[in-house]
């Protein structure tokens, strides 16, 4: 396949991430030998796609079953996991069988969690269909679901057997969903690969258009950033020489997740993360950790592709309470991933409350 790229993820459980178009033929090899039953977990919105993949697997001799789950964050609730477990139990899923997820980040998170917890872990192959899913959720083995107290508070580390990023699926993605996913791409630029920022700034139209060489390069560069981070620090225990390790991938997510919770998950993840990045850039600037030009670059690059940099929803009190259950919090101390310069992530622990309110004032409208 002429347009196929392969990025290898090393570590204790190595696997490949394949990027290209028309990748369905790669699926059996990723499932591996000995798999008889395959559960194709997909959201309601992708019922036709999920059924097409199920039929293709059935024609190749697999005992393939479709499991439809809700769209978006509604998929990441305990009753959905229970429903999936019930289907796996009724169809006789064994430890040698496999799950395939088809969808965006929410489907990948929940499908991965189901695979991680069924019989303490069965194989899973992710087929992300959104930009967010490709550059963030599908790689790195994090799975999770939400509770009423917060986002992704329940989960497990469970690395996939492989990931298939079919770029053709982005052609039908609504533009606002593509733009939302670009927040995670820009995040990778700020924490590790500034060339990503240069590309977005130079070619904003191509960066937000499916099928362009620029978007493909942005996807592959973002994948390389994530792979590099998770191989060094799979379970978020910390990086070397003061680097926050995998925590760096949460840049912008502390406030971002709080916004999502306050907005009852009606706010797009990428939009919330964009606001979160603008907030921590201001926080780092006010704390004397980041220069003004780099802080301002957050606003300019996010504005250029149509991502928000201000927030006028919930009060600071609501957001502050929501942040207290963030996974990075230790005891009563909030922790934020900040920058000390381009591609120089660090952790700011227990910042002065006055700094937090001042930074929030900079993004309030």
Determine if residue 263 is labeled as part of a ligand binding site.
no
The CA distance from 105 to 86, in Å, is 22
Instruction: Report H helices in 233-315.
Output: 253-262, 269-286, 292-304
Determine if residue 184 is labeled as part of a ligand binding site.
yes
The SS3 assignment for 41 reads: strand
Closest CA to 124 of 39, 201, 6, 245: 39
Strand partners, 139: none
Closest CA to 279 of 334, 218, 198: 334
Report which DSSP code applies to 26: G
The CA distance from 253 to 152, in Å, is 12
The CA distance from 43 to 68, in Å, is 5
The CA distance from 149 to 155, in Å, is 14
Give catalytic residue positions: 120, 142, 184, 226, 236, 246, 250, 253, 257, 269
Determine if residue 266 is labeled as part of a ligand binding site.
no
Phi and psi (nearest 5°) for 11?
110, -165
Determine if residue 169 is labeled as part of a ligand binding site.
yes
Question: 58 is written with which tokens?
Answer: 């059935």
The CA distance from 147 to 154, in Å, is 8
Determine if residue 130 is labeled as part of a ligand binding site.
yes
Determine if residue 129 is labeled as part of a ligand binding site.
yes
Determine if residue 18 is labeled as part of a ligand binding site.
no
Determine if residue 170 is labeled as part of a ligand binding site.
yes
The CA distance from 161 to 165, in Å, is 14
User: How far is C-alpha 19 from the geometric centre of its chain's CA atoms?
Assistant: 16
User: How far is C-alpha 145 from the geometric centre of its chain's CA atoms?
Assistant: 13
Closest CA to 115 of 160, 50, 73: 160
Determine if residue 74 is labeled as part of a ligand binding site.
yes
Determine if residue 126 is labeled as part of a ligand binding site.
no
Determine if residue 148 is labeled as part of a ligand binding site.
no
Place of tokens 């290209």: 20
Backbone φ/ψ region at 32: left (φ over 0), alpha (ψ -120 to 50), beta: left
Determine if residue 71 is labeled as part of a ligand binding site.
yes
Determine if residue 6 is labeled as part of a ligand binding site.
no
The CA distance from 359 to 287, in Å, is 10
* Cα–Cα separations (whole angstroms), residue 64 to 37, 82, 96, 208, 333: 6, 20, 14, 35, 47
Determine if residue 171 is labeled as part of a ligand binding site.
yes
**Per the annotation, where are the binding residues?**
71-76, 129-130, 142, 151, 169-172, 184, 253, 269
Annotated binding site for Zn(2+): 184, 253, 269
Show binding-site residues for NAD(+).
Answer: 71-76, 129-130, 142, 151, 169-172
């Amino acid at each position: 396949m002429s347009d196929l790229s392969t990025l290898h993820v090393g570590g204790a459980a190595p696997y490949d991430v394949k990027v290209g178009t028309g990748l369905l033929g790669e699926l059996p090899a990723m499932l591996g030998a000995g798999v008889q039953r395959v559960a194709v977990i997909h959201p309601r919105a992708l019922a036709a796609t999920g059924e097409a993949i199920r039929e293709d697997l059935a024609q190749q001799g697999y005992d393939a079953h479709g499991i439809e789950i809700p769209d978006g964050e509604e998929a990441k609730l305990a009753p959905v996991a229970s429903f999936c477990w019930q289907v796996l139990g009724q169809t006789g899923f064994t430890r040698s069988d496999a799950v395939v997820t088809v969808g965006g980040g929410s489907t990948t998170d929940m499908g991965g969690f189901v695979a991680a917890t069924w019989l303490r872990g069965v194989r899973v192959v992710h087929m992300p269909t959104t930009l967010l899913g490709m550059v963030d959720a599908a790689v790195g083995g994090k799975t999770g679901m939400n509770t009423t107290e917060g986002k992704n508070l329940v989960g497990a580390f469970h690395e996939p057997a492989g990931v298939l990023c079919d770029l053709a699926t982005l052609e039908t993605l609504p533009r606002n969903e593509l733009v939302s996913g670009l927040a995670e791409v820009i995040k990778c630029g700020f924490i590790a690969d500034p060339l990503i920022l240069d590309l977005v700034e130079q070619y904003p139209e191509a960066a937000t258009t499916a099928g362009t060489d620029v978007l493909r390069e942005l996807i592959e560069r973002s994948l390389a950033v994530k792979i590099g981070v998770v191989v060094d620090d799979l379970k978020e225990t910390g990086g070397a020489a003061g680097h926050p390790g995998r925590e760096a991938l949460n840049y912008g997510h502390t406030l971002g997740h709080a916004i999502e919770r306050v907005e009852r998950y009606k706010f797009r993840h990428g939009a919330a993360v964009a606001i979160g990045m603008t907030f921590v850039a201001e926080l780092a600037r006010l704390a004397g950790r980041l220069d003004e030009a780099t802080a301002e670059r957050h606003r300019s690059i996010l504005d250029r592709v149509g991502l928000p940099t201000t927030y006028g929803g919930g009060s600071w009190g609501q957001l502050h309470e929501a942040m207290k259950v963030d996974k990075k919090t230790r005891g009563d101390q909030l922790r934020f991933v900040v920058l000390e310069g381009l591609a120089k992530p660090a952790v700011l622990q227990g910042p002065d409350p006055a700094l937090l309110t001042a930074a929030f004032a900079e993004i309030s409208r």
